[in-house]
Amino acid sequence: MKKEYTISLVKKDILGPACAVLTFSCPEIAKNGRPGQFVNLSCDYFLKRPFGIMCVDKEKNTFSIGVRKVGKGTEKIIEAQEGQTFTCLGPLGNGFCFDGVKKLLLVGGGTGIFPIYFAASYAKENGIPCKVVNGYRSQSDAFLYDRFSCICDDFSVTTDAGDLGIKGNVMAYLETMSDEELSESTVMVVGPGIMMRKVSEWAINKGLSCYVSLEQRMACGIGACLVCICKIKAEQEGKEFVHKRCCKDGPVFKAEEVIW
C-alpha cells in the first residue's frame, strides 16, 4: 500500500534569490523514484505542490527537488530550514521510458532543468549516449551548470541574454545540429509550455521520437480529482481530443499526442 510520508529536509542548497535544491530523507522515494516522476509536497497552504524529482541517492536514502519561487507555496518551501518536516506523496506519475533508447537528446528550461538532470544522470549510469541542451535567461540563472558539466560529456546552453553559450532560446542551438548528429536520438524535453511545443514540432519534423513532461495546476497528484487535465489527441474516430490527467496519465507524454 502506498503511503503519505512524513519527510525531513536534510539539505538546502540555495541556487539564487528565488531558487534552491532541497534534499529530503525518504528511503521509499529514493528507492523508487525514476526520471520524469514527481512528488507532491506539503507547504503551509492547503494543497500540496508538485515537483519533478531531480535526483535520488539510494545509499543515503534521499531525494532532491529543485524549487523556484512562483507563488506563496513555493516561497514557504524555499524558506524551510534543514530539519523541518513535510508530508509528501511520491514518486508519482509516469516517468520517461528509456527502453530501446539508443541516444538521448535532453532539452531543459526553467524548472524543467531539474527533472532533465535526473534523466541525464540516468543516461550516464546506464551508458546511454546523451546530449543536454539547457536554455537559461542569463548566466546568473544558469542553475546546475557545473553539475550538468560534470555528468554530461556533451552539454550545451543557450541564454536569452547571450552571456553564456549561444544567444537565444534552445531552438537557436537545436537548429544548428546536423542530421547526422541527431540520427537515432530520442528527445526528452521539460520546460515552459512554449519551449516544449517548439521543440516538439521541430523533433517531429525531424522524424525523431520526442517526449514532453507537461505541467498543470494540480490538487491530489494521484489521479483522483481530475483538475490537472491535458488535451491529448483522441484515438477514437470522430473525437478530436481526450482530457488526460497530467498527474496520473502523465506527466510524460509522447510529443505527437499532445494538443498544445
Partner 1 sequence: MSIKVNVGDVSFKNPIILASGTCGFGRELAEYMDLSKLGALSSKGLTLLPRDGNQGVRVAETPSGMLNCVGLQNPGVDAFLATELDYMFQSGAGVVVNVAGHSNEDYIAMVEKLDPFKDKIDALELNFSCPNVKEGCMVIGSSPKAIEALVSDLRKRTDLPMWVKLTPNVTSISETAKGAEAGGADAIVAINTMLGMAIDIKTRRPLLHNNTGGLSGPCVKPVALRMVHDIYEAVKIPVVGCGGISTMEDVLEFMIAGASAVELGTITLVHPTRPVEIVEQLEIYCKENNIEELSSLTGTLQMWR
| Displacement of CA 114 from its chain's centroid (Å) | 5
Q: Do residues 150 and 117 make contact, with C-beta atoms less than 8 angstroms apart?
A: no
In the complex with partner 1, the residue whose CB is nearer, 86 or 173, is 86
Q: Do residues 173 and 166 make contact, with C-beta atoms less than 8 angstroms apart?
A: yes
Among 55, 78, 80, 89, binds partner 1 (CB under 8 A): 89
Tell the smallest beta-carbon distance from residue 248 to partner 1 (Å).
Answer: 7
Among 3, 178, 235, 238, binds partner 1 (CB under 8 A): 3
d(CA 30, CA 207): 35
By the rule CB under 8 A, 46 interacts with partner 1: yes
By the rule CB under 8 A, 226 interacts with partner 1: yes
Among 10, 164, 229, 254, binds partner 1 (CB under 8 A): 229
Q: Count of residues for the chain?
A: 260
d(CA 250, CA 253): 6
Q: Residue 70: count other Cβ atoms within 10 Å of its Cβ.
A: 12
d(CA 260, CA 14): 33
By the rule CB under 8 A, 146 interacts with partner 1: no
By the rule CB under 8 A, 259 interacts with partner 1: no
How many of the chain's residues bind partner 1 (CB under 8 A)?
Answer: 28
Chain residues binding partner 1 by CB under 8 A are 1-4, 45-48, 73, 87, 89, 217-220, 222-229, 231, 241-243, 248
